[in-house]
Homo-oligomer: A and B are copies of this chain.
Amino acid sequence: MPQPSAPRKTLGRPPRISREEVVTTARRIVDAEGVDRLTMRRLATEIGSTPMALYHHVRNKEELLVLLLDDYAARTLHRPELPAQPRERVVVAAAAIHEALAACPWIVEVLTADDLMSTSALWFVEQIVDGLVGCGLTPERAVHGYRTIWYYTAGEIVVRTTAARRRTDDDRPTYRERVFADLDPSEFPRLAQLAAHWAPLTAENTYLDGLRALVEGLLAAG
């Protein structure tokens, strides 16, 4: 019995703000002015409270960002039609996650979280693991395969977006450019040969090709 005798109000000082309000307001700020403008003070005044009050609803700023990512995923990560063939299901599910995350580059600092374990992403994880099992992998290998895909996906996004960020707030020659500039062709023939093409080549988006290769390799090994 859910104790109807004791309506038992909550103890302690009643909260004036809620975790949800914190997240919602944070989202508004980020949507309107970008993640750089999201500071704890700004958020607090926007919400009509004090910075430290937020810390009763959110462990720290990083957790707030994780919650924002969750919120974002819940709103935009809709379950697509997946192919029946398990192998293609894996590819399409992974690509869907990648696409959603790539469109939302401010989460880079969060992306490095353990797995992508937002509740809304769970379905995709299930599809990937199940697809791998459907291709003949043992469940254990399927989990490993999922993680390998996740490493690749997270790495691609993190590397690409921080590279892009660096390029915007700084137009001095890249470290890479300097390295390529004084390259000894006799010691590094391939790199010297490719030097001129390196930048355009790395600018290409080859996530999907890499993903297909990775999945193919995972299945061949299993």
Q: B-contacting residues of A (Cβ < 8 Å)?
A: 66, 108, 112-115, 117, 119, 122-123, 125-126, 129-130, 133, 139-140, 142-145, 147-148, 150-156, 158-159, 162-163, 166, 174-176, 179, 183, 187-191, 193-194, 197-198, 201-202, 204, 206, 209-210, 212-218, 220-221
Contacts and interface: CB of A to CB of B under 8 A. Distances in A.
B217 A144 contact: no
B191 A144 contact: no
Contacts of A154: 155, 158-159
A192 to B, nearest CB: 9
Contact of A191 (B126, B190, B198, B217): B126
Contact of A125 (B147, B191, B201): B191
A10 to B, nearest CB: 21
Contact of A217 (B143, B206, B213): B213
A193 B129 CA distance: 11
Contacts of A125: 191
B140 A201 contact: yes
Contacts of A151: 152, 155-156, 159, 210
8 contacts: A113-B159, A114-B159, A117-B176, A126-B189, A126-B191, A130-B189, A142-B190, A216-B216
A113 B167 CA distance: 11
Contact of A190 (B129, B147, B162, B197): B129
Given A66-B175, A190-B130, A150 B159 contact: yes
B155 A201 contact: no
A48 to B, nearest CB: 29
Contacts of A218: 210, 213, 217
